[in-house]
Structure 1
Protein backbone atom coordinates (compact mmCIF):
# COMPACT_ATOMS: atom_id res chain seq x y z
CA UNK A 1 0.00 0.00 0.00
CA UNK A 2 1.34 3.42 -0.94
CA UNK A 3 1.64 5.97 1.87
CA UNK A 4 -0.11 9.30 1.49
CA UNK A 5 1.96 12.48 1.70
CA UNK A 6 0.32 13.13 5.10
CA UNK A 7 1.40 9.68 6.31
CA UNK A 8 4.96 10.34 5.13
CA UNK A 9 4.93 13.74 6.88
CA UNK A 10 3.71 12.18 10.14
CA UNK A 11 6.38 9.45 9.87
CA UNK A 12 9.20 11.99 9.48
CA UNK A 13 9.94 10.92 5.90
CA UNK A 14 10.48 13.00 2.77
CA UNK A 15 7.10 14.06 1.40
CA UNK A 16 5.60 16.48 -1.09
CA UNK A 17 4.01 19.41 0.70
CA UNK A 18 2.19 20.38 -2.51
CA UNK A 19 -0.56 17.84 -1.94
CA UNK A 20 -4.37 18.27 -1.93
CA UNK A 21 -4.86 16.63 1.48
CA UNK A 22 -2.15 18.79 3.05
CA UNK A 23 -3.55 21.87 1.27
CA UNK A 24 -6.93 21.16 2.91
CA UNK A 25 -5.33 20.84 6.35
CA UNK A 26 -3.45 24.13 5.88
CA UNK A 27 -6.70 25.78 4.73
CA UNK A 28 -8.43 24.57 7.90
CA UNK A 29 -5.59 26.08 9.94
CA UNK A 30 -5.80 29.39 8.03
CA UNK A 31 -9.50 29.64 8.89
CA UNK A 32 -8.90 28.97 12.58
CA UNK A 33 -6.01 31.45 12.65
CA UNK A 34 -8.19 34.04 10.91
CA UNK A 35 -10.89 33.60 13.56
CA UNK A 36 -8.31 33.99 16.32
CA UNK A 37 -6.71 37.06 14.77
CA UNK A 38 -9.95 38.89 13.93
CA UNK A 39 -12.26 38.23 16.87
CA UNK A 40 -12.46 41.10 19.36
CA UNK A 41 -10.37 40.21 22.43
CA UNK A 42 -13.40 39.94 24.72
CA UNK A 43 -14.98 37.40 22.35
CA UNK A 44 -11.73 35.57 21.55
CA UNK A 45 -10.60 35.01 25.11
CA UNK A 46 -7.22 33.41 25.67
CA UNK A 47 -7.44 31.36 22.44
CA UNK A 48 -10.21 31.51 19.85
CA UNK A 49 -12.40 28.38 19.91
CA UNK A 50 -11.49 27.24 16.39
CA UNK A 51 -7.75 27.58 17.09
CA UNK A 52 -8.01 25.76 20.41
CA UNK A 53 -9.90 22.92 18.70
CA UNK A 54 -7.21 22.74 16.01
CA UNK A 55 -4.29 22.20 18.41
CA UNK A 56 -3.24 18.70 19.48
CA UNK A 57 -3.56 19.70 23.16
CA UNK A 58 -3.93 22.95 25.08
CA UNK A 59 -3.93 23.39 28.85
CA UNK A 60 -6.81 25.48 30.17
CA UNK A 61 -4.69 28.47 31.21
CA UNK A 62 -2.69 29.12 28.02
CA UNK A 63 -2.79 32.48 26.27
CA UNK A 64 -2.06 33.16 22.58
CA UNK A 65 -1.92 36.82 21.62
CA UNK A 66 -3.07 37.94 18.19
CA UNK A 67 -1.78 37.97 15.58
CA UNK A 68 -0.67 34.36 15.52
CA UNK A 69 0.12 32.01 12.64
CA UNK A 70 0.57 28.25 12.32
CA UNK A 71 0.83 25.90 9.35
CA UNK A 72 -1.37 23.03 10.54
CA UNK A 73 -2.09 23.54 14.24
CA UNK A 74 -2.78 19.84 14.72
CA UNK A 75 0.85 19.25 15.77
CA UNK A 76 0.99 21.92 18.50
CA UNK A 77 0.81 21.04 22.21
CA UNK A 78 0.78 23.83 24.81
CA UNK A 79 1.38 23.01 28.48
CA UNK A 80 -0.11 24.77 31.50
CA UNK A 81 0.47 28.51 31.71
CA UNK A 82 2.11 28.84 28.28
CA UNK A 83 2.10 32.38 26.90
CA UNK A 84 2.69 33.23 23.22
CA UNK A 85 3.09 36.95 22.61
CA UNK A 86 1.89 38.78 19.49
CA UNK A 87 3.31 37.78 16.13
CA UNK A 88 4.39 34.24 16.98
CA UNK A 89 4.59 31.83 14.05
CA UNK A 90 4.75 28.05 14.41
CA UNK A 91 5.26 26.07 11.21
CA UNK A 92 4.21 22.79 12.76
CA UNK A 93 4.73 20.19 10.04
CA UNK A 94 6.06 18.02 12.88
CA UNK A 95 5.12 18.01 16.57
CA UNK A 96 5.85 21.21 18.51
CA UNK A 97 5.56 20.77 22.27
CA UNK A 98 5.85 23.79 24.56
CA UNK A 99 6.14 22.89 28.24
CA UNK A 100 4.36 24.29 31.27
CA UNK A 101 5.10 27.88 32.20
CA UNK A 102 7.07 28.71 29.06
CA UNK A 103 6.80 32.17 27.56
CA UNK A 104 7.53 33.22 23.98
CA UNK A 105 8.15 36.89 23.26
CA UNK A 106 6.71 38.81 20.32
CA UNK A 107 7.60 37.59 16.86
CA UNK A 108 9.12 34.25 17.90
CA UNK A 109 9.23 31.79 14.99
CA UNK A 110 9.41 28.01 15.28
CA UNK A 111 10.14 26.04 12.11
CA UNK A 112 9.89 22.26 11.65
CA UNK A 113 10.30 21.91 7.86
CA UNK A 114 13.52 21.49 5.94
CA UNK A 115 13.21 21.79 2.19
CA UNK A 116 15.27 19.62 -0.11
CA UNK A 117 18.71 20.93 -1.10
CA UNK A 118 18.31 19.70 -4.69
CA UNK A 119 16.66 22.52 -6.66
CA UNK A 120 14.39 20.30 -8.76
CA UNK A 121 13.18 18.35 -5.71
CA UNK A 122 12.69 21.55 -3.72
CA UNK A 123 10.71 23.04 -6.62
CA UNK A 124 8.53 19.91 -6.54
CA UNK A 125 7.73 20.62 -2.88
CA UNK A 126 9.85 17.89 -1.29
CA UNK A 127 10.52 18.48 2.40
CA UNK A 128 11.19 16.62 5.63
CA UNK A 129 10.21 17.69 9.11
CA UNK A 130 11.81 17.47 12.52
CA UNK A 131 9.97 18.11 15.80
CA UNK A 132 10.71 21.00 18.17
CA UNK A 133 10.45 20.55 21.93
CA UNK A 134 10.54 23.42 24.40
CA UNK A 135 10.79 22.39 28.04
CA UNK A 136 9.10 23.82 31.10
CA UNK A 137 9.63 27.40 32.28
CA UNK A 138 11.57 28.42 29.18
CA UNK A 139 11.75 32.08 28.20
CA UNK A 140 12.28 32.85 24.51
CA UNK A 141 12.94 36.51 23.75
CA UNK A 142 11.27 38.46 20.98
CA UNK A 143 12.25 37.75 17.40
CA UNK A 144 14.07 34.50 18.20
CA UNK A 145 13.99 31.73 15.60
CA UNK A 146 13.96 28.05 16.56
CA UNK A 147 15.04 25.74 13.72
CA UNK A 148 13.87 22.17 12.97
CA UNK A 149 14.79 19.40 15.37
CA UNK A 150 15.79 21.64 18.29
CA UNK A 151 15.09 20.75 21.91
CA UNK A 152 15.30 23.49 24.54
CA UNK A 153 15.72 22.24 28.11
CA UNK A 154 13.72 23.24 31.17
CA UNK A 155 14.41 26.71 32.53
CA UNK A 156 16.57 27.81 29.60
CA UNK A 157 16.57 31.37 28.27
CA UNK A 158 16.86 32.22 24.57
CA UNK A 159 17.84 35.85 24.04
CA UNK A 160 15.89 38.16 21.77
CA UNK A 161 16.80 37.73 18.12
CA UNK A 162 18.72 34.49 18.67
CA UNK A 163 18.74 31.86 15.95
CA UNK A 164 18.71 28.46 17.66
CA UNK A 165 20.27 25.86 15.39
CA UNK A 166 21.04 23.13 17.94
CA UNK A 167 19.76 21.83 21.26
CA UNK A 168 19.90 24.07 24.33
CA UNK A 169 20.63 22.45 27.69
CA UNK A 170 18.39 23.00 30.70
CA UNK A 171 19.04 26.15 32.69
CA UNK A 172 21.43 27.86 30.28
CA UNK A 173 21.11 31.16 28.42
CA UNK A 174 21.84 31.38 24.70
CA UNK A 175 22.12 34.48 22.51
CA UNK A 176 23.19 35.40 18.99
CA UNK A 177 23.19 33.98 15.48
CA UNK A 178 23.85 31.14 15.67
CA UNK A 179 22.83 30.97 19.33
CA UNK A 180 25.67 30.27 21.74
CA UNK A 181 25.75 29.73 25.49
CA UNK A 182 26.58 32.80 27.58
CA UNK A 183 25.87 31.29 31.03
Structure 2
Protein backbone atom coordinates (compact mmCIF):
# COMPACT_ATOMS: atom_id res chain seq x y z
CA UNK A 1 0.00 0.00 0.00
CA UNK A 2 1.38 3.42 -0.92
CA UNK A 3 1.79 6.24 1.58
CA UNK A 4 -0.89 8.19 -0.33
CA UNK A 5 -3.35 5.27 0.00
CA UNK A 6 -2.63 5.05 3.73
CA UNK A 7 -3.35 8.78 4.06
CA UNK A 8 -6.71 8.45 2.30
CA UNK A 9 -7.65 5.62 4.69
CA UNK A 10 -6.75 7.66 7.79
CA UNK A 11 -3.80 5.41 8.65
CA UNK A 12 -0.39 6.58 9.77
CA UNK A 13 1.76 7.44 6.77
CA UNK A 14 5.09 9.11 6.07
CA UNK A 15 4.73 12.28 4.01
CA UNK A 16 8.33 13.38 4.51
CA UNK A 17 10.22 10.51 2.90
CA UNK A 18 7.87 9.25 0.18
CA UNK A 19 9.07 10.43 -3.28
CA UNK A 20 5.55 10.41 -4.76
CA UNK A 21 4.13 12.64 -2.01
CA UNK A 22 7.17 14.90 -2.01
CA UNK A 23 6.83 15.41 -5.78
CA UNK A 24 3.08 16.10 -5.51
CA UNK A 25 3.67 18.67 -2.75
CA UNK A 26 6.42 20.37 -4.75
CA UNK A 27 4.12 20.55 -7.80
CA UNK A 28 1.24 22.02 -5.73
CA UNK A 29 3.42 24.53 -3.89
CA UNK A 30 4.89 25.74 -7.18
CA UNK A 31 1.38 26.29 -8.57
CA UNK A 32 0.42 28.14 -5.39
CA UNK A 33 3.46 30.36 -5.82
CA UNK A 34 2.44 31.08 -9.43
CA UNK A 35 -1.13 31.81 -8.31
CA UNK A 36 -0.02 34.13 -5.51
CA UNK A 37 2.23 36.14 -7.85
CA UNK A 38 -0.47 37.01 -10.40
CA UNK A 39 -1.53 40.62 -10.70
CA UNK A 40 -5.03 41.61 -9.68
CA UNK A 41 -6.38 41.95 -13.23
CA UNK A 42 -5.28 38.46 -14.29
CA UNK A 43 -8.54 36.75 -13.32
CA UNK A 44 -8.58 34.35 -16.27
CA UNK A 45 -5.11 33.06 -15.34
CA UNK A 46 -6.14 32.75 -11.68
CA UNK A 47 -9.16 30.65 -12.60
CA UNK A 48 -7.06 28.44 -14.89
CA UNK A 49 -4.48 27.82 -12.15
CA UNK A 50 -7.20 26.92 -9.64
CA UNK A 51 -8.69 24.48 -12.16
CA UNK A 52 -5.28 22.87 -12.62
CA UNK A 53 -4.37 22.81 -8.92
CA UNK A 54 -7.59 21.58 -7.32
CA UNK A 55 -9.35 18.25 -7.82
CA UNK A 56 -12.69 19.95 -8.53
CA UNK A 57 -13.26 23.69 -8.58
CA UNK A 58 -16.35 25.62 -9.64
CA UNK A 59 -15.50 28.02 -12.46
CA UNK A 60 -16.79 30.98 -10.46
CA UNK A 61 -14.64 30.25 -7.38
CA UNK A 62 -12.67 33.20 -6.03
CA UNK A 63 -9.75 32.69 -3.66
CA UNK A 64 -7.90 35.85 -2.73
CA UNK A 65 -4.13 35.38 -2.62
CA UNK A 66 -2.12 34.31 -0.84
CA UNK A 67 -3.50 30.77 -0.91
CA UNK A 68 -1.60 27.65 0.16
CA UNK A 69 -2.25 23.89 -0.10
CA UNK A 70 -0.28 20.69 0.44
CA UNK A 71 -1.41 18.67 -2.59
CA UNK A 72 -4.37 20.49 -4.16
CA UNK A 73 -5.88 17.51 -5.95
CA UNK A 74 -7.58 16.31 -2.74
CA UNK A 75 -9.70 19.50 -2.65
CA UNK A 76 -13.21 19.67 -4.17
CA UNK A 77 -14.89 23.10 -4.18
CA UNK A 78 -18.44 23.79 -5.37
CA UNK A 79 -19.98 26.77 -7.16
CA UNK A 80 -20.04 30.36 -5.89
CA UNK A 81 -17.14 29.83 -3.49
CA UNK A 82 -15.32 32.82 -2.01
CA UNK A 83 -12.31 32.77 0.30
CA UNK A 84 -10.61 35.90 1.56
CA UNK A 85 -6.82 36.32 1.94
CA UNK A 86 -4.57 33.73 3.61
CA UNK A 87 -6.56 30.52 3.21
CA UNK A 88 -4.45 27.43 4.03
CA UNK A 89 -5.75 23.95 3.20
CA UNK A 90 -3.63 21.00 4.33
CA UNK A 91 -5.16 18.28 2.19
CA UNK A 92 -3.49 14.97 2.99
CA UNK A 93 -7.05 13.57 2.87
CA UNK A 94 -10.07 14.84 0.95
CA UNK A 95 -11.48 18.30 1.65
CA UNK A 96 -14.99 18.71 0.22
CA UNK A 97 -16.63 22.16 0.20
CA UNK A 98 -20.18 22.69 -1.06
CA UNK A 99 -21.80 25.51 -3.02
CA UNK A 100 -22.18 29.13 -1.85
CA UNK A 101 -19.52 28.93 0.85
CA UNK A 102 -17.82 32.08 2.17
CA UNK A 103 -14.58 31.92 4.16
CA UNK A 104 -13.12 34.93 5.94
CA UNK A 105 -9.42 35.88 5.98
CA UNK A 106 -6.70 33.94 7.82
CA UNK A 107 -8.44 30.56 7.97
CA UNK A 108 -6.97 27.05 7.99
CA UNK A 109 -8.60 23.77 7.03
CA UNK A 110 -6.39 20.85 8.06
CA UNK A 111 -6.80 17.14 7.47
CA UNK A 112 -3.34 16.56 8.96
CA UNK A 113 -2.72 15.34 12.48
CA UNK A 114 0.14 13.71 14.34
CA UNK A 115 0.29 10.81 16.79
CA UNK A 116 0.74 11.55 20.51
CA UNK A 117 3.71 9.18 20.74
CA UNK A 118 6.95 11.15 20.32
CA UNK A 119 8.70 8.17 18.74
CA UNK A 120 6.14 7.97 15.92
CA UNK A 121 6.24 11.74 15.35
CA UNK A 122 10.04 11.51 15.27
CA UNK A 123 9.78 8.93 12.48
CA UNK A 124 7.83 11.50 10.44
CA UNK A 125 4.50 9.70 10.72
CA UNK A 126 1.20 11.56 10.54
CA UNK A 127 -2.41 10.82 9.71
CA UNK A 128 -5.05 12.56 7.63
CA UNK A 129 -8.82 12.65 8.16
CA UNK A 130 -11.24 14.09 5.60
CA UNK A 131 -12.99 17.43 6.20
CA UNK A 132 -16.44 18.19 4.78
CA UNK A 133 -18.07 21.63 4.64
CA UNK A 134 -21.66 21.72 3.38
CA UNK A 135 -23.35 24.28 1.16
CA UNK A 136 -24.36 27.82 2.19
CA UNK A 137 -21.82 27.90 5.01
CA UNK A 138 -20.20 31.08 6.30
CA UNK A 139 -16.87 30.71 8.11
CA UNK A 140 -15.70 33.84 9.92
CA UNK A 141 -12.15 35.21 9.97
CA UNK A 142 -9.39 33.36 11.76
CA UNK A 143 -11.21 30.03 12.00
CA UNK A 144 -9.20 26.80 12.35
CA UNK A 145 -10.91 23.59 11.16
CA UNK A 146 -9.33 20.40 12.50
CA UNK A 147 -9.03 16.92 10.92
CA UNK A 148 -12.16 14.80 10.52
CA UNK A 149 -14.68 17.61 11.01
CA UNK A 150 -17.98 17.92 9.13
CA UNK A 151 -19.79 21.26 9.04
CA UNK A 152 -23.41 20.90 7.94
CA UNK A 153 -25.30 22.94 5.34
CA UNK A 154 -26.34 26.50 6.30
CA UNK A 155 -24.06 26.61 9.35
CA UNK A 156 -22.24 29.77 10.50
CA UNK A 157 -18.88 29.52 12.28
CA UNK A 158 -17.96 32.56 14.38
CA UNK A 159 -14.64 34.39 13.99
CA UNK A 160 -11.64 32.93 15.78
CA UNK A 161 -13.22 29.54 16.40
CA UNK A 162 -11.29 26.28 16.61
CA UNK A 163 -13.57 23.61 15.15
CA UNK A 164 -12.61 20.24 16.67
CA UNK A 165 -16.00 18.46 16.36
CA UNK A 166 -18.83 18.30 13.84
CA UNK A 167 -21.21 21.25 13.57
CA UNK A 168 -24.83 20.38 12.71
CA UNK A 169 -26.59 21.85 9.70
CA UNK A 170 -28.28 25.19 10.28
CA UNK A 171 -26.45 26.11 13.49
CA UNK A 172 -24.38 29.08 14.61
CA UNK A 173 -21.27 27.76 16.35
CA UNK A 174 -18.29 29.55 17.85
CA UNK A 175 -15.57 29.40 20.49
CA UNK A 176 -12.45 27.47 21.37
CA UNK A 177 -13.38 24.70 21.22
CA UNK A 178 -16.17 25.59 18.82
CA UNK A 179 -19.65 24.55 19.96
CA UNK A 180 -23.15 24.97 18.50
CA UNK A 181 -24.91 27.89 20.20
CA UNK A 182 -28.26 28.31 18.45
CA UNK A 183 -30.13 27.46 15.30
CA UNK A 184 -29.74 29.98 12.47
CA UNK A 185 -33.17 31.44 11.76
CA UNK A 186 -34.29 32.46 8.30
CA UNK A 187 -35.69 35.96 8.52
CA UNK A 188 -37.84 37.67 5.90
CA UNK A 189 -35.85 39.69 3.42
CA UNK A 190 -36.46 43.44 3.60
CA UNK A 191 -36.55 45.06 0.23
CA UNK A 192 -35.77 48.73 -0.17
CA UNK A 193 -37.34 50.29 -3.20
The equivalent of 2:15 in structure 1 is 17
The equivalent of 2:97 in structure 1 is 98
The equivalent of 1:113 in structure 2 is 112
The equivalent of 1:42 in structure 2 is 41
| Structure 1 residue 89: Cα displacement | 0.5
The equivalent of 2:5 in structure 1 is 7
| Structure 1 residue 137: Cα displacement | 0.4
The equivalent of 1:73 in structure 2 is 72
| 1:66-103 Cα deviation digits (max 9, x unpaired) | 01111110110110001111101000111101100010
The equivalent of 1:154 in structure 2 is 153
Contact 2:108/2:145 (CA < 8 Å) preserved in 1?
yes
Structure 1 stretches of 4+ moved >3 Å: 44-48
| 1:88-135 Cα deviation digits (max 9, x unpaired) | 100011110110001000011001011111111101111111100000
SS in 2 for 1:155: coil
Contact 1:36/1:48 (CA < 8 Å) preserved in 2?
no
Q: Distance in 1 between matches of 2:50 and 2:149?
A: 24
Aligned residue pair count: 181
| Structure 1 residue 159: Cα displacement | 0.3
- TM-score w.r.t. length of structure 2: 0.90
Of 173-182 and 37-46, deviating more is 37-46
Q: Distance in 2 between matches of 1:181 and 1:10?
A: 28
Unaligned runs of 5+ in 1: none
- TM-score w.r.t. length of structure 1: 0.95
| 1:133-154 Cα deviation digits (max 9, x unpaired) | 0000000000000000000000
Residue 74 of structure 2 is aligned to residue 87 of structure 1: no
**C-alpha RMSD over aligned residues:** 1.3
Contact 2:28/2:53 (CA < 8 Å) preserved in 1?
yes
| Structure 1 residue 48: Cα displacement | 4.6
| Structure 1 residue 42: Cα displacement | 1.4
The equivalent of 2:28 in structure 1 is 29
Contact 1:56/1:75 (CA < 8 Å) preserved in 2?
yes
Contact 1:110/1:145 (CA < 8 Å) preserved in 2?
yes
Q: Distance in 2 between matches of 1:62 and 1:107?
A: 18
| Structure 1 residue 47: Cα displacement | 3.3
